[in-house]
Amino acid sequence: MTIRHRTYAELSSKDVSGLGEQVSAQTQRVAERLAGVRSCVAVMSGKGGVGKSLVSAALAAAMSRLGLRVGLLDADLVGPTAARLSGVSAPSLVISETGVEPPVSEAGVRVMSMDLLLEEGSPMAWREPDADSFVWRGTQERGALREFLADVKWGELDVLLLDLPPGTQRLVDLFELVPNLSGAVVVTIPTSASAVAVQRSIALARARGIPLLGIVENMAGYACDGCGQVGELFPGDAAERLSETHSVPVLARIPFDVAAGRAAESGSMGDLVSGTEAGGMILELARRLAEPLGLQALPAGEQP
Amino acid sequence: MKFLCVECDEQMMFEQRQLPGDGTLAATFRCPKCERVVAMLTNPMETQLVSSLGIKIGGREVPEQPLETIRSGLVGGREDAFEESEVPAGPVAWSQDAIDRLGIVPTFVRGMVKRIYADYAKENGIPEITPAVMDRARSDLGLEGM
């Protein structure tokens, strides 16, 4: 026998749990925090190992060098590196009821990364029941990303760069949290395997209506440490192919540069930008990226 | 989520939340007409799913704290990751037992926990925080893992 009773919609009293309202309030917190941020740009790649985090950290330093106010959020929660690359070594973060102050790198970039919260060498793990973690783990990570966006005192920024992990899921999370995302920069290496993987991210971004600001081909050749001449490192022309197929401009081709590697190892993004072959190209990348974002960067030759 | 007392055709009211400490959650609802109480029980996986969303069944009594999900859920957080800029002030006192108990909370999350207990006491007109008040707050606020 069917028991007849009223439905959810027919009950007029308030839903005290208001789970939907609680989720909406969370999204609203993100919007309020980012109200002073002129543009949010995702740096993404469908593939790991393309040097996306280094490009993100160097690009952030380069944009700062061009006189822009820059933040860098490491959205790679599992393999965070932005703090180390930016030379921000785990100070105690000042936290209050209104949020947490992000440390500022020597290059002037406001940085937040899971790297700053974890013990050295400690993997990111959550208090969890023994089984079925697949049910909630993605939600927990999305929650952590949301809190980094909403609870860090980003202040007034011209651009907040978001270094995404390999794959596509985090881009979806980000877009739901920041629907007015200014766009995405896609990083690839020259190989066809990379092109195939990156293509998936491009397709997803397109499907979601996220503007594609351009392609960066990293490790596009090897810059000799002695003479500076650039030779081939990987075969392929991924950036050009992706650009033609998807009508997205190639913003930069950055060679593998040992000097840049040394600067990255010591967390000196400022040195990387100002004193290396790759750094010059990243500065140019920063200048090109500022344009579609409507940001007023210092012209060539005028940066300090 | 709403609960209906089918017999009375009345919407049941949220009464309290309990965390037995085994990863599960209980939320009780009472019928305003016949006073019947039912309990919604969630298993550890369901409890964790709700917790990972950063939401509270029965609604929030105190505002969401900065980095609440991260600080309450992360394992392996640096002990000195945070420096609290403001210590909760006001008329709420802490008993020595409560201070001792707070001392065993990992420093990664201690400041946030202290603030939540102080806010709870203020909201409920409790002049002194004791371990019993902490237990009650933990249940009422759904502070799993704190």
Contact A18 B13 (CB under 8 A): no
CA pair distance B138, B117, nearest whole angstrom: 8
Counted residue by residue, chain A has a size of 304
Contact B4 A5 (CB under 8 A): yes
Please report how the helices A52-65 and A277-293 are oriented relative to each other, as an axis angle in degrees rounded to 10.
70
Does the pLDDT value for residue A275 go beyond 60? Answer: yes
Interface test with A, best of B1, B16, B67, B108 (most A CBs within 10 A): B67
Of the listed ranges A129-133, A199-203, B16-20, B23-27, the one predicted with least confidence:
A129-133
Counted residue by residue, chain B has a size of 146
B81 → chain A, closest CA residue: A92
- The pLDDT, as a whole number, for residue B145 is 54
CA pair distance B30, B40, nearest whole angstrom: 11
Which chain B positions have a beta carbon within 8 Å of A78's beta carbon?
none
Quickly tell me which residue has 């081709």 as its tokens.
A253
CA pair distance A232, A103, nearest whole angstrom: 38
**HSE value, Cβ hemisphere, 13 Å, CA-based, for A233:** 19
For residue A38, which amino acid is it?
A: R
CA pair distance A177, A188, nearest whole angstrom: 25
Contact B85 A96 (CB under 8 A): yes
pLDDT digits (tens, 9 = 90+) for A92-126: 899 988 999 999 999 999 999 999 999 888 888 88
Interface test with B, best of A10, A112, A117 (most B CBs within 10 A): A117
Q: How far is A219 from chain B (nearest CA, A)?
A: 34
Q: How far is A90 from chain B (nearest CA, A)?
A: 7
Output the six-digit token pair for A107: 């290059």
Q: Tell me the average pLDDT across B32-48.
A: 92
pLDDT digits (tens, 9 = 90+) for B42-74: 988 888 888 888 888 888 777 888 999 899 888
Which chain A positions have a beta carbon within 8 Å of B81's beta carbon?
90, 92-93, 116-117
* β B82-84/A93-96 pair status: parallel
Closest by Cβ to A135, choosing from B49, B64, B145: B49
- What is the value of pTM for the model shown? 0.88
- The pLDDT, as a whole number, for residue A304 is 61
CA pair distance A117, A44, nearest whole angstrom: 23
User: Given CB atoms, is B22 within the 8 Å cutoff of chain A?
Assistant: no
Taking a C-beta distance cutoff of 8 angstroms, is the pair A210, A183 a contact? yes
The interface pTM score, or ipTM, of the predicted complex is 0.86
Contact A18 B115 (CB under 8 A): no
- The pLDDT, as a whole number, for residue B90 is 67
Q: Which residues are A133's β-sheet partners?
A: none
Of the listed ranges A105-109, A144-148, B14-18, the one predicted with least confidence:
B14-18
- The pLDDT, as a whole number, for residue A302 is 66
B119 → chain A, closest CA residue: A97
DSSP label of A34:
G
Contact A119 B56 (CB under 8 A): no
CA pair distance A34, B105, nearest whole angstrom: 32
Taking a C-beta distance cutoff of 8 angstroms, is the pair B140, B61 a contact? yes
Mean pLDDT (chain B, rounded): 86
Quickly tell me which residue has 């490790």 as its tokens.
A219
Contact A116 B145 (CB under 8 A): no
